[in-house]
Amino acid sequence: MQTFSSPGWLQACSAALLRGTLQALLKPVFSPRFSIPFQRRWLRGLAHSTLPARGVRREAAQLGGRPGEWLRARSAAPDAAIAPGAVLYLHGGAYCVGAPATHRALTGRLALATGLPVFALDYRLAPEHPFPAGLDDALAAYRALRAQGPVVLAGDSAGGGLALACALALREAGDAAPAALYLISPWADMRAEAAPARPVPGEAMLSSAWVLDCAAKYLGKTAPEHPWCSPLLADLRGLPPTLIQAGTDEMLHGQALALEAALRAAGVAVRCEVDQARWHVFQLHGGVLASADAALARAAAFIAPQMAAARAPVQATHEVVIMGAGMSGLCMAIQLKRAGMHDFVLLEKQTGLGGTWWDNRYPGAHVDVPAPAYSFSFAANPRWTRRFASAPEIHRYMQDLALRHGLLPHLRLGTAVQEAGFDAASGQWALRTDRGDHYRARHFVCSTGPLNQPRWPDIPGLAEFQGERLHSARWDATVPLQGRRVAVIGTGSTASQLVAPIAAQAGQLHVFQRTANWVLPRLDRRYFGIDRLLARLPPYSAAVRWAWVQALEWGRRGFDEGTLARRGMLATAAAHRQRQVADPALRARLTPSYPLGCKRIIYSNDYYPALGRPNTELVTEAIARITARGIVTADGRERPLDVLVCATGFDTQQLLASLQIRGQQGQLLGEVWRASPEAYLGCTVAGFPNLYLMLGPNTATGHTSTLLYIEPQVQHALACMRELRQRGQQWIAVRPEAQRAYNEGLQARLRGSVWTQCHSWYQGADGRVAAIFPGFTAEYQRRVRRPDFSAYQFG
């Protein structure tokens, strides 16, 4: 069981108002004293006062001979760009009341959150139609829907119990199972003894008397122990992955926990989420209650990988295929939509969007530039809670972008591109995925960026280590650290963020440092309500973003010798080290021996203090080898370990090495880039038509936000696509001589720069700087945003 809380006075006030309204207007009517027809009319009347989900298209329809309604996220995408699959939603109401119309606030937001079409079934109700009428309707609708693709069965309260019963009946009949079950406060045990003897404090809707009265009407002559009426009592083996959500302040809270335990005992993959101080089916209040929106977002994150695994391989043709759903992939997709180009898909190998921010979930992960500069110019985020946003906050921002701009229907999660080749005859790319999908597209956008492929340290014995082994980019939060002996290899930007949280938990922490890093204070602070209120004003948010961008550009001057900025940064770093490291010997080992800026600068307020803790040891002796139980350093000493953490970054030289990309003449991009990767403006590669790189070679920076480079790259790709269409040609490719001249100019500027004065991930094995752009951001933006088509050839 996972528990969630909703801090903040605003949330508390909203929750209190909503709970009070339900207790005053709904709970008294849900009573045996009122007739079922009156309860239905009353509930429908209240439903008209709820806020419908904006951006949802509603359409009356039938499935399996039963009426209902489709709810779909509004999208201009062609049908071919919409992922196959749907959600069959069964509404609650104790089998006697309720309808698709009463649950639109929930089903509409579920459609938005998942990007899937949701069919809300208007199944037959008791007492007119007792068991098994509702189940028969659900089975008929499911079978009709399953013929079109994978289906997630979802429902709340009685609908949750009905969804579970439907899954059991399908299993008994040998039918195809649902891709997943999503059960909100499920009513899974209809026996009288399962109802609480006393009212549950905080319950906003249900009472035992009403529930038992409705149960009697639904059951008719059927015993409540029937496994399709009380599925909690059934054999639950073989059911699909299941998500249960409930609140603490509801009478079915206990049933949710009991169902989780029963499913787990039956070997079903199950997760139960319980929201503190929330009532029965609080998800109905999405759009008003942040915890309801968060619960639906978690449900969408659960459903996505299950649906991806259930989909059959596809063969499809699109105008654009985007590989990677990180920041650059999302930006590309949003701008395609803005340009009226809706025929595209995003292929993401992970089971969730986010790219780097999906991969990097280690403790303390956050962005190292101010958050206002880490949001797109066209999508300010007024919800940042700190100046330097945490990884979960950034991921929420990305999810919100995908939701707000209708990208979810275009998203194919759990889908890794394995090979791509350009077909000169058709002027299209042909792509194959690890799932057996085959895509063809005029344009292929690689938005994986440089921080994509984790790099493990090349240390003898690494594979023989028998303790827990973690990489910062593949973090496993289930590995316990409390009181254990932990080692961290690496002292770069990532390590500086995770060392302090680990030091606070570990019994003993060893930090292995090869070279000391330049560390400056992080000018962090909390954002308060007034900050977030002002951030909703576009002129204010734009001004704040501009100011931070200028401040970061001033920092770029610190990489040039003799500048005021450099002198200021050197003095600040020395003062920061002096202030935070009391031990002179430790301070000496933490003093860098290379020029500031040669490696990426660390901005941290807690890294140095963590290294000074009694349970932390900074190890500067070289690592000789790793053993089954620890690490042996060059002096022969072995340090026993329980957990080994490798914060050793990414392979930034062998870009896109995990897949085969063949160009116009059949050449492999990996072979072309064997010595060192290079591209024209970091965006296009000679010999690879209609291929666009996001954050390609020589587009990294050591001083500012990568988003400032992503946006012009996207505009460059869009301009190339438009030009190709206007000329009526099949392909566009950069001229080899233009690419060569551009890169010769880059390397001439980089020679003798600070980035050549030490070894870092900015350089290749031959010492060539293949990552950094040597100039200022404005220079890059001006040159990239509007392509010079004389540098390109068409065919």
Residue 502's SS3 state is helix
Work out the mean pLDDT of the chain and round it to a whole number.
92
Residues ≥6 apart with Cβ < 8 Å to 165: 135, 138, 227, 228, 229, 231
* pLDDT the model gives residue 656: 65
* pLDDT the model gives residue 655: 53
Shortest CA distance to 273 belongs to which of 290, 296, 289, 251?
296
Residue 539's SS3 state is helix
Q: Judge whether residue 774 has pLDDT over 90.
A: yes
Cα-only R_g, the chain: 29
Instruction: Kindly report, residue by residue over 697-756, the tens digit of the pLDDT.
Output: 999 888 999 999 999 999 999 999 999 999 999 999 999 999 999 999 999 999 989 998
Q: Judge whether residue 689 has pLDDT over 60.
A: yes
Q: DSSP letter for 52, please.
A: P
Instruction: Kindly report, residue by residue over 624-666, the tens digit of the pLDDT.
Output: 999 999 999 999 999 999 999 998 876 655 556 668 999 999 9
Dist CA 740 CA 565 (whole Å): 33
Instruction: Kindly report, residue by residue over 733-742, the tens digit of the pLDDT.
Output: 999 999 999 9
Residue 630: in which H helix or E strand, if any?
strand 630-633
- Exposed e or buried b per residue across 655-690, where buried means at least 16 C-beta atoms within 10 angstroms of its C-beta: bbeebbbbbbeeeebbebbeebbbbbbbbbbbbbbb
Positions of E strands within 327-463: 344-347, 411-412, 417-423, 428-433, 438-446
Dist CA 75 CA 407 (whole Å): 8
Residue 256's SS3 state is helix
Residue 347's pLDDT band (cuts 50, 70, 90): very high
Q: Judge whether residue 449 has pLDDT over 70.
A: no
Instruction: Kindly report, residue by residue over 381-402, the tens digit of the pLDDT.
Output: 999 999 999 999 999 999 889 9
pLDDT (average), residues 480-496 = 92
Q: Judge whether residue 362 has pLDDT over 70.
A: yes
Residues ≥6 apart with Cβ < 8 Å to 112: 53, 55, 56, 73, 403, 408
* pLDDT the model gives residue 129: 96
Instruction: Kindly report, residue by residue over 510-565, the tens digit of the pLDDT.
Output: 999 999 999 999 999 999 989 989 999 999 999 999 999 999 999 999 999 999 99
Instruction: Kindly report, residue by residue over 583-633, the tens digit of the pLDDT.
Output: 999 999 999 999 999 988 999 999 999 999 999 999 999 999 999 999 999
* pLDDT the model gives residue 287: 84
Q: DSSP letter for 462, please.
A: G
pLDDT (average), residues 198-209 = 90
Instruction: Kindly report, residue by residue over 80-133, the tens digit of the pLDDT.
Output: 556 779 999 999 999 999 999 999 999 999 998 888 999 999 999 999 999 999
Residue 96: in which H helix or E strand, if any?
none
Tokens 């849900």 found at: 30
Instruction: Kindly report, residue by residue over 402-427, the tens digit of the pLDDT.
Output: 988 888 888 898 899 999 999 999 99
